[in-house]
Amino acid sequence: MAHTVLQSNHINKFFSDPVLSQVLKDVSFSIDQGEFVSVTGKSGCGKSTLLYILSTMDTDYEGALLIDGEDMRGKTEAELARIRNEKIGFVFQFHYLLNEFSVLKNVMLPGLKLQKYTEAEVEHHAMERLKKLGIEALALKKANQLSGGEKQRVAIARALINDPIIIMGDEPTGNLDKKNSDIVFDIFKQLCEEFNQTLLIVTHDQRFAENTHRIIEMEDGRIIRQ
Amino acid sequence: MNLNLIADIAKSLLLARWRQSMVAAIGVTFSITMFIALLGFMNGLNDMLDGLILNRTAHIRLFNDLKPNPNQPIDIAAEFSSGHNFIQSIKSSGSRIELYNSAAIMQAVKNDPRVLGFSPKIIAPVLYNSGIIDITGTVSGIDVLTESSLFFFKDYVTSGDAYDLRNVNNSIILGKGVALKLLADIGDVVQVTTSKGDRMPLKVVGFFQSGIADYDKVQSFASIGTAQKLLGKANTYITDIQIKLKDLQQAPAIAKEYAQLFGVDAEDIQRANSQFETGSFIRSLLSYVVGIVLLIVAGFGIYNILNMMIYEKMDTIAILKATGFSGGDVRKIFLGIALTIGFLGGLLGLVFGYSLSLLIDQIPFNTSALPTITTYPVNYNPKFYLIGISFALITTYLAGFFPARKASKVDPVIIIRGK
């Protein structure tokens, strides 16, 4: 049986502003090692909210979240930051690269923060990731000199730097044209198939979702199909 | 190392906004510059004004005061030994102005490790005779060598050579005011009469100007030997021993000790000149207050700029947090920025403050009251520089604390989803 990477047990989430409303209703599912999962649904169905809870950045929820078999409840902010650093890689709709740094440094930052390897080793790892994604030539450019597709690929390289057990994406292709969307999708697919990387991608791009291994479809804060 | 990484990120953010950072740093620089210059100048003035009196005042003065003898015969009489005796109309006895056994006292003082040095002195009340008028005054018999090394006597001799007191027999250095009244010039001979009525001609070898006009109108100096001759006393006659200590603060305690040990009166500098401490304290206080106010203003500048930087760098903060930097790390980054601004600004402030002090030190400042001062006095005590840089760091830390805390509390979800 495959190793369970992420498990969500009966997660409920309420927004109290402006009026009390439940945005997630009893969400339960689990993701195994090596799965390529997409979460789809209409705008406002709670899929992004779910992702941010799963990412440990949002801690205001009911229910249980287990990452790598570890319960996330009751952990301090610093401990959660450490888990995000070590076990989760993020790709957002917008690239969120730091313009003050070179591409290489952007990729290296989470690795340097982890302090598992020396700076030289982290740099080596970062170059490997960039090569894997075919953008090693951009390594020394500043982040703001890149095109949108390139930036998103750098963001993927950054997500990969610490060999996370899961990569989470919030509409990673939402801001890209078709060609770049395809490139990004192919990278995800390749990561999953060649490196057995687990991926959880929130998207409203049906074409993207259909090509993943598993689709979790949400509506009004509930999972209606998985 | 984690701190290295944080420092690296802080540096990059700082350089990305180097113009604003520089403005903030200039604020700190300006405050520290003013702080250093002000304190240096104020304390220079303090030193000068204190020096007017304190330099020339002994830390402890041993002498025999004119006062009634505390051991009255009635106290010794057996039949009156019980109870308290009230005696009316006791007169002060003036017979013991001389310090008895002065050689032994001087030897003991010399061997005391707490003592920097001492100088014997004879105070002789005299009349200066000029034609038909007599001017009251005092001639102090001094040892020019020790008086110069301990009490800067030489600095106040404005014309003539102080050492001529030793080298020329029966010589006198007149106070400027006395000399003006006597119309005496160097090389002239003046007549001096003691309280006992002995008259003696003394040769003027110099003028003395202390900066305190009233003092200069009565005071003149002669050598110890000349003063003894003037009073018709033996060469062991001494009325005062002026002692300079290594630590001024010990003066009251040591004075008490000596008074008991030698059976003489001992007056310490704190008791004699307490008003100077107050003046110095108020001037220092004022300069500190002005310096701190300037720094607080600079602190608000840093606060504003950091706040602005945090709003601009929300995305950066959010992504740092999303990729595993904790709130504490983010806080350290922004505190690092604040402290860097404070440290560099402060350091530059010290350099400029020092330069400004040097400049003030060059401005001519001539006053007849202070013959030794030709430019504005400045104190270069390293203490002020240490306090300056500490204040700079403390203020910028406080100014950076709240923005940094705000940055550490930024919720990455709100920023990232808000796009």
Nearest to A161 by CA among A117, A200, A201: A117
Say if A59 falls within a structural domain: no
Looking at the domain assignment, is residue A71 inside a domain? Answer: no
pLDDT for position B358: 92
Instruction: State the pLDDT at residue B351.
Output: 94
The tokens describing B206, both together, are 């110099």
Query: What CATH number did the domain enclosing A217 receive?
Result: 3.40.50.300
Expressed in percent and rounded to 5, the helix, strand and coil fractions of chain B are: 60, 20, 25
Contacts with B2 from chain A: Cβ below 8 Å: 113, 115
**What whole-number distance in Å separates Cα of residue B28 and Cα of residue B41?**
20
Higher pLDDT among residues B39 and A17, named by residue: B39
CA torsion sign for B253, B255, B257, B259 is: negative
Count of other CB atoms within 10 angstroms of residue A112: 23
**pLDDT at B204 (0 to 100):** 92
Structural domain span for residue A151: 35-41+76-225
Report how far residue B331's alpha carbon sits from residue B9's, in angstroms, rounded to the nearest whole number. 12
- Who contacts A143 (Cβ-Cβ below 8 Å, separation ≥6)? A95, A97, A98, A99, A101, A102, A103, A106, A151, A154
Q: What is the three-class DSSP state of A89?
A: strand
The confidence score (pLDDT) of residue B352 equals: 94
**Count of domains forming chain A:** 1
The identity of residue A109, as a single letter, is L
- A92/B416 CB distance under 8 A: yes
The two three-digit tokens of residue A3, written as one number: 């190793």
pLDDT in tens, A21-62: 888 888 888 888 888 888 888 877 888 888 888 888 888 888
pTM of the model: 0.69
The CA distance from B163 to B150, in Å, is 15
Is the minimum CB–CB distance between B1 and chain A shorter than 8 Å?
Answer: yes
Q: What is the pLDDT of residues A127-163, one digit of tens each?
A: 888 888 888 888 888 888 888 888 888 888 888 888 8
Residues of B in Cβ contact (< 8 Å) with A84: 322-324
B1 vs A115: CB contact, 8 Å cut-off? yes
How far does chain A reach from its first CA to its final CA, in angstroms?
19
What does the alpha-carbon distance between residue B242 and residue B257 come to, in Å, rounded to a whole number?
15
Identify the residue among A52, A53, A116, A154 best suited for mutation to test binding to B, counting B beta carbons within 10 A and taking the highest.
Answer: A52
CB burial class (10 A; 0-12, 13-18, 19+) of residue A189?
middle
B207: pLDDT confidence band, cut at 50, 70 and 90? very high
Flag the least confident range among A120-129, B41-50, B166-175.
Answer: B41-50
How much is the mean pLDDT over chain A? 83
Whether A218 and A188 have beta carbons less than 8 Å apart is answered as: no
Cβ-defined contact of B324 to A113 (cutoff 8 Å): yes
Q: Quick check: A97 and A155 in contact, CB under 8 A? A: yes
Evaluate whether residue A10 is within a structural domain.
no
- What pLDDT score was predicted for residue B273? 66
**How far is A137 from chain B, CA to nearest CA, in Å?**
23
User: For chain A, how big is the Rg over CA atoms in Å?
Assistant: 17
- pLDDT tens figures, B274-287: 666 777 788 778 87
Residues of chain B with Cβ-Cβ distance to A81 below 8 Å are 321, 324-327, 329
Task: Give ∠ CA A169-A175-A181 in degrees, rounded to 5.
Answer: 75
pLDDT digits (tens, 9 = 90+) for B91-133: 776 666 788 888 888 888 889 898 888 899 998 889 998 778 7
> Do B221 and B173 form a contact (C-beta atoms < 8 A)?
yes
* A96 contacts B416? CB cut-off 8 A: yes
Q: How is the beta sheet containing A166-170 ordered, strand by strand?
A: A88-91, A166-170, A199-202, A36-41, A214-219, A222-225
Binary contact (B417, A48; C-beta < 8 A): yes
Query: In chain A, which residue's Cα lies nearest the Cα of B11?
Result: A100
Which distant-in-sequence residues (6+ apart) come within 8 Å of B100 by Cβ? none
| CA–CA dist B236, B122 (Å, integer) | 11
Exposure string for B306-324, b = 16+ CB within 10 A, e = fewer? bbebbeebbbbbbbbbbbb
* Length in residues, chain B: 419
Model confidence at B350, pLDDT cuts 50, 70, 90, reads very high
Q: What is the rounded distance in angstroms from the CA atom of residue B306 to the CA atom of residue B320?
A: 17
In the structure, what pLDDT confidence band is assigned to residue B312 with cuts at 50, 70 and 90?
confident
**Confidence (pLDDT) at B220:** 92
pLDDT for B353 equals 92
Determine the 3-state secondary structure of B418 from DSSP: coil
Each residue's pLDDT tens digit, A57-106: 888 888 888 888 888 888 888 888 888 888 888 888 776 788 888 888 88
The residue whose two tokens read 């009490």 is B151
- Burial class for B382, CB neighbours closer than 10 Å (0-12, 13-18, 19+): exposed
- Other C-beta atoms closer than 10 Å to the C-beta of B295 total 27
Report the gap between the CA of B315 and the closest CA in chain A (Å).
7
- A158 and B417 in contact by Cβ < 8 A? no
Domain membership flag for residue A22? no
Residues of B in contact with A113 (CB under 8 A): 2, 5, 323-325, 329
Which of A52, A85, A96 is nearest residue B319 as measured by Cβ atoms?
Answer: A96
* Residue B56 clears pLDDT 80, i.e. is over it: no
d(CA B79, CA B71): 16
Delimit the domains of chain B by residue range.
Answer: 2-54+276-417, 58-74+94-272
Cβ-based neighbours of B140, under 8 Å, separated by 6 or more: B121, B122, B123, B124, B219, B220, B221, B222, B227
H helices of B183-248, where?
Answer: 213-216, 224-231
- Residue A5 inside a domain? The answer is no
Average pLDDT, chain B: 84
Section B398-409 average pLDDT = 86
